[in-house]
Every structure is written in structure tokens, then in C-alpha cells.
């Protein structure tokens, strides 16, 4: 294989050398004929030319042969060194490969672990869950309030009761429900007026079983909940009928403020509730200046809109604070 690689070039160079020798000999013959005419002188020059050509050809072959040997030898040495290193690495990985045989590693090498970090969040202070482990579950419900006077197409509480029963079944199925997220509009059509309002009993406790109410219902106000609630006219959240900062009191929703956050370190999460009722009509892109239209059903429409606007700003502040 090495000879086949190197012969063409050597043959070409050898042919060039022969042509050059022939030209030189012809020039010597012409020169000798001009200066010393005669058959013997020309014969001597011809013999000398043949000897010179043979010697030059021999020297050229030796030089070319030496170059080929050096070039092919260097290539062979490099290839053997690469194979030797590969064989050594393979042998040390598999503890096999005697007798010069090459063996592939039994297991592919693992790539280095890649750690992803969120830009402003530190993961060092959180307990990392085990892979495929589950810490708990929760249920979400909203717009569930029912009233026969305003839901004319639903003549009884049967639909709401069916949902409540399914929630109980799901809790028993999951076995690890930690809380319920309630996104508002809990009491149709006008909310509750106090914590003694009979709607707590008739529209919530009698419909949702003790099992379903055995975990906190983390709640926020819906636009209907504002109508007759003291919260509409008061800037003090403690006057609000649904606000309950006592997380142990499960006779009511758990709502420390109209907007709030509650950490759950055992779940590696926190609950964030935001009062954004000012944007209740945000689906309508034609509206540029948003305000809580439901305040028209409260005893204090102007104050209600002012309170709702202020609470929306506070909600955005809380949101941006918690996301950092």
C-alpha cells in the first residue's frame, strides 16, 4: 500500500531526470564534434554521457527512495501511535484487550450534569424533591355560587351538589389534597354581608362535605362578592365579610387580606391571592379606562371604585415583590 502511494511521483521525477541527462549528453556530443572531430572522440563522449546518465539516475533513485521511506515511515509512526493510544484507553476502560486486540468500552461515558438556574431565584435554600416524588395535591374551583333567583336555567342546587360530591370523591382518591383554591364569585348574586350571614351555612357548609372543608379554602373576591360586602365601602380589610386571617378557622375561607401570600415550605411553593376586580371587563379591548362596574350595586359606588382601584395597584405591587 505504501509503494502504491508513492510510486507515481517517483516515476515522474525519474523520467524528468532521464530527459535532462539526455539533453546534457546531446549538448556534449555537439560540443565535442565542433572542437575535436573524429569518431573516437565522439565515442568517448557518448560513453561518458551514458555513464553520467546512469550515475545521475542512480543518485536520483537513492534520493527519491530515501524521501519516500522517510515520508511513509513518519505516516506509519503517527498512525501506529494513534492506534496504540486508542488501544491503551480501551484496554484500561474494559480491563480486556490482551494480544493487541481493540475493545470498545462496555458503557458509554456520561455527560457532565447541567444545572439550570432561574435568573432571580435561589435554589440553595429549598429542599429538592426526589425524582418522581409527589408532595401533595390541591383542587381548584370558581364561579360556583348558586342562587335560584338568578340562575333561572338551573332550577335547583343539584348541579352544584354534583360538583361538591365529585370533589369529595377526588379527595379520597388522591389522598393527599392539601388545600382548595377558590377564585371567587362564591355567593351569588351579591356576596355575603357578614360572617353571620346564613349563606355561609346554606350555600357552602351544607353543600360541601366536612371532608372537602377539612382543608383550607384559599380564596379571593369575585366581582359579585363585592356587591353587599362591607369591603366595598371600607378601606380596612378587617371589615370585609370574607377576610379571615386565622388559618386554623376552617368555618370560613382562608383569606388574610384582599391580596396576600402564604408560604408552604413543605410543598416548596407559596399561595398568592390577588384582588384584580378592576379588570373584570378586561376581555373587552374597546375599554381603555378600567373600573369596577359592579360597584353600582354597592351602597357607595364612588368609594367602591376608589377602593377597588387602590387594591389593584397593591395587588400588582405584591405580585412583582413575590416574583423576585
Q: What is the DSSP string of 143-204?
A: S----TTT-TTS-STHHHHHHHHHHHHHHHHHS-EEEEEE-S--STTT--SSTT-THHIIII
pLDDT > 60? residue 129? no
The pLDDT, as a whole number, for residue 183 is: 96
Mean pLDDT, to the nearest integer, of 99-116? 39
The pLDDT, as a whole number, for residue 32 is: 47
Tens of pLDDT, residue by residue over 34-44, are 444 444 444 45
The pLDDT, as a whole number, for residue 313 is: 94
Cell of 206: 351544607
The pLDDT, as a whole number, for residue 50 is: 58
The pLDDT, as a whole number, for residue 133 is: 82
Q: Which of 10-19, 139-148, 244-253 has maximum average pLDDT? A: 244-253
Torsion angle (degrees, nearest 10) of CA 150, 153, 158, 162: -100
Residue corresponding to grid cell 396576600:
260
Which CB contacts under 8 angstroms, 24+ apart, belong to 71-80? 71/6, 72/2, 72/5, 72/6, 76/2
Name the more confident of 73 and 53: 53
Q: What is the DSSP letter of 257?
A: S
Please provide the average confidence, as pLDDT, over all residues in the chain.
75
The pLDDT, as a whole number, for residue 151 is: 79
The pLDDT, as a whole number, for residue 144 is: 92
What pTM was estimated for this model as a whole?
0.60
Tens of pLDDT, residue by residue over 160-200, are 999 999 999 999 999 999 999 999 999 999 999 999 999 99
Tens of pLDDT, residue by residue over 293-321, are 999 999 999 999 999 999 999 999 999 99
Share of the chain above pLDDT 70, in %: 59
Q: Which of 287, 283, 308 is nearest to 298 (CA)?
A: 308
CA–CA gap between residue 210 and residue 86 (Å, rounded): 71
The pLDDT, as a whole number, for residue 168 is: 98
The pLDDT, as a whole number, for residue 153 is: 80
CA–CA gap between residue 4 and residue 11 (Å, rounded): 11
Amino acid at each position: 500500500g505504501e509503494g502504491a502511494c508513492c510510486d507515481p511521483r517517483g516515476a515522474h521525477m525519474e523520467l524528468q531526470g532521464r530527459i535532462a541527462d539526455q539533453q546534457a549528453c546531446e549538448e556534449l556530443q555537439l560540443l565535442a564534434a565542433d572542437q575535436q572531430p573524429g569518431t573516437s572522440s565522439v565515442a568517448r563522449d557518448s560513453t561518458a554521457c551514458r555513464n553520467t546518465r546512469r550515475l545521475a539516475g542512480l543518485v536520483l533513485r537513492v534520493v527519491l527512495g530515501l524521501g519516500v521511506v522517510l515520508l511513509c515511515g513518519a505516516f506509519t509512526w503517527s498512525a501506529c501511535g494513534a492506534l496504540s493510544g486508542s488501544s491503551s484507553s480501551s484496554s484500561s476502560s474494559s480491563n480486556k484487550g490482551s494480544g493487541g486486540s481493540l475493545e470498545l468500552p462496555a458503557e458509554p461515558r456520561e455527560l457532565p450534569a447541567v444545572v439550570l438556574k432561574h435568573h432571580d431565584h435561589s435554589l440553595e435554600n429549598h429542599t429538592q424533591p426526589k425524582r418522581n416524588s409527589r408532595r401533595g395535591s390541591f383542587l381548584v374551583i370558581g364561579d360556583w355560587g348558586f342562587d335560584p333567583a338568578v340562575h333561572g336555567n338551573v332550577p335547583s342546587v343539584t348541579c352544584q351538589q354534583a360538583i361538591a360530591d365529585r370533589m369529595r370523591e377526588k379527595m379520597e382518591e388522591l389522598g393527599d389534597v392539601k388545600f382548595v383554591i377558590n377564585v371567587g364569585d362564591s355567593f351569588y348574586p351579591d356576596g355575603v354581608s357578614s360572617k353571620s350571614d346564613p349563606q355561609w351555612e346554606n350555600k357552602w357548609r351544607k353543600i360541601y362535605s366536612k371532608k372537602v372543608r377539612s382543608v383550607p379554602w384559599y380564596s379571593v373576591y369575585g366581582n359579585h362578592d363585592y356587591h353587599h360586602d362591607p369591603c366595598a365601602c371600607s378601606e380596612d380589610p378587617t371589615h370585609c365579610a370574607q377576610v379571615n386571617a386565622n388559618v386554623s378557622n376552617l368555618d370560613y375561607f382562608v383569606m388574610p387580606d384582599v391580596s396576600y401570600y402564604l408560604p408552604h415550605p413543605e410543598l416548596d411553593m407559596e399561595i398568592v391571592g390577588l384582588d384584580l376586580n378592576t379588570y373584570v371587563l378586561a376581555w373587552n379591548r374597546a375599554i381603555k379606562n378600567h373600573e369596577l362596574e359592579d360597584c353600582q350595586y354597592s351602597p357607595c359606588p364612588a368609594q367602591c371604585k376608589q377602593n377597588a382601584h387602590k387594591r389593584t395597584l397593591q395587588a400588582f405591587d405584591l405580585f412583582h415583590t413575590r416574583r423576585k
